[in-house]
Structure 1
């Protein structure tokens, strides 16, 4: 999923093209997926991210670009899933520390019938100093979605990870600073 404008980052670049340690986030995510056991990579790009579309065409020709309407995450995800089918592993382009190992662990945990929401403890995000805008409940422990999910059926299971590479979503300048420091 790489249709973001990056307005909360306050810069001029589209969010997927914001560099972490000199490499655009979208390239870092595509590299992690290429090193995993994922069978194909599709990039869902909205009209709000024309430079990202051009970048992928030039820098990542093996990535299949899927156009989305740009009407928000849910609408764009639905449009992308209509094109690629289910089950599908979805990844937000703002997860620049993603690596093949956690991707493979999530794929191994997926059972094929239920969707899998991947979350980290909110306490981990706070310890790292990154934003924790959304939370889900898991008993008495607050969790934050990571932007990595398996979308299959209508039922949702939660997969909890303590891997810091899944805890850093770059939404604000402070998140970018943390990603730079950890990369």
Structure 2
């Protein structure tokens, strides 16, 4: 998903093209997807992100499938894209949806989300999965924590990466802690995966988020910090 204006970031640069440690965020996310087990990536753009579209098609990968969403907001454009691709809800394969504002994302983090969806389903048919990060984790890292909601009495924030799979697949009768210390909660049609993974905890919405992401990446080094890396102060 790379069709946002990025008004909260300010400036003239479209949000997906905002540089973090010298590289556009959307390139970092594309690299993560390219190295993951996700089979095919589609760039969902909008009239608000014409420069992003040109960058992806003309500079990065001319063969990248592009979906031109109407630009009616994230949720509306996401629904448009899912209908265009045809996912599990319409008899097609499960879909992984990813926002372009996750500059710490890497292939291993993407695969961990895919594995969580499969664990919540029956293995072969991934369950629909909503990925969230505790608001306290984001605040400790020093990044914005907008759109706070509550899961089992804990404040969480959507991470911007989810799986749309078989909502009826598998069963989960409570709040079970997984091997990586994250939580799985059954929410009816979809499971909620709560994780403290730093690679999923940093969404860039404000200039201050860019600074935190760059500090965590460390002077533009390509290797993303792992979940157990020490957190910065503030």
Aligned mate of 2:160, from 147, 155, 162: 147
**Contiguous gaps of at least 5 residues in structure 2:** 88-93, 168-188, 218-234
CA distance in 2, matches of 1:71, 1:180: 30
> Over residues 24-66 of structure 1, what are the superposed CA-to-partner deviations in whole Å (9 max), with x where a residue is unaligned?
0000000000111010110100111000000000212342111
Distance apart, 1:113 and its partner CA: 5.7
User: Who wins on radius of gyration, i.e. which is larger?
Assistant: 2
TM-score (norm 2): 0.75
The 4+ residue runs of structure 1 with deviation greater than 6 A are none
Partner of 2:114: 107
TM-score (norm 1): 0.96
Partner of 2:180: none
CA distance in 2, matches of 1:45, 1:157: 27
Partner of 1:71: 72
> Over residues 3-36 of structure 1, what are the superposed CA-to-partner deviations in whole Å (9 max), with x where a residue is unaligned?
0111100111000000101110000000000111
Q: Which has the higher contact order (CA 8 A, sep 6+)?
A: 1
Count of residue correspondences:
183
User: Is 1:31 aligned to residue 31 of structure 2?
Assistant: yes
CA distance in 2, matches of 1:84, 1:107: 18
CA distance in 2, matches of 1:149, 1:63: 21
Distance apart, 1:141 and its partner CA: 1.3
**Contiguous gaps of at least 5 residues in structure 1:** none
Secondary structure of the residue that 1:49 maps to in structure 2? helix
